[in-house]
């Protein structure tokens, strides 16, 4: 199946919000927040969109059928890095190389920006995703090196932020 991979623009936020809502099983993802956070002067993230031609659109009429969200980060050991926050392809479009193409694009852009690492997180029970990523050549930093993801939010973060 024909598909194209390109940088996301402001008009794509509606579709990105739609796909986030479905993939993350949340009540609603705010399109306004995505527009503000991703397309202002100092964006927090960048997006890549996977699009199919009209003749392959979904039942509901969507041609934007996958996306990746990423931002630049840093390793104090290796230098510039890129973090892939989201990678998603609508279920009926999987198995066609679209996820791989999105991820490759993030890697290509990262390398062009001087990055030495592409990092992301996956839930350990998500075997199909884990298998997909490992088959592409990444390694499991948590399993292999013992790094645990730690998080501070809500009241704990408020408390910590007290001077």
Dist. CA 74–CA 115, nearest whole Å: 9
Q: Please state the closest distance from residue 143 (CB atom) to other proteins, in A.
A: 6
Q: Is 19 helix (H, G, I), strand (E, B) or coil?
A: helix
Question: 60 or 155, CB closer to other proteins?
Answer: 155
Q: Please state the closest distance from residue 59 (CB atom) to other proteins, in A.
A: 25
Query: Under a CB-based contact definition with an 8 Å cutoff, are residues 39 and 83 in contact?
Result: no
Q: Which of 53, 91, 108, 131 binds other proteins (CB under 8 A)?
A: 108
Residue 19: which of 56, 71, 62 has the closest Cα?
Answer: 62
Site membership for other proteins, residue 110 (CB under 8 A):
yes
Query: Under a CB-based contact definition with an 8 Å cutoff, are residues 47 and 67 in contact?
Result: yes
- Contact track, other proteins, 16-35, x by CB under 8 A: ----x---x-x--x---x--
The residues annotated with a catalytic role in the active site are 133
């Amino acid at each position: 199946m024909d598909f194209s991979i390109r940088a996301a623009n402001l008009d794509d936020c509606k579709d990105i919000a739609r796909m986030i809502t479905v993939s993350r099983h949340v009540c609603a993802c705010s399109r306004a927040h995505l527009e503000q956070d991703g397309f202002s002067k100092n964006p927090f993230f960048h997006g890549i969109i996977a699009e199919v031609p009209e003749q392959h659109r979904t039942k509901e009429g969507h041609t934007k059928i996958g996306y990746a969200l990423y931002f630049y980060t840093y390793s104090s050991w290796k230098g510039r890095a890129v973090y892939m926050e989201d990678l998603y392809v609508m279920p009926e479009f999987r198995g066609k190389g679209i996820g791989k193409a999105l991820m490759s694009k993030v890697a290509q852009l990262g390398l062009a920006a001087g990055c030495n690492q592409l990092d992301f997180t996956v839930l350990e029970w998500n075997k199909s995703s884990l298998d997909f990523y490992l088959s592409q050549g990444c390694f499991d930093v948590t399993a292999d090196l013992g790094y645990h993801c730690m998080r501070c939010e809500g009241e704990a973060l408020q408390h910590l932020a007290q001077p």
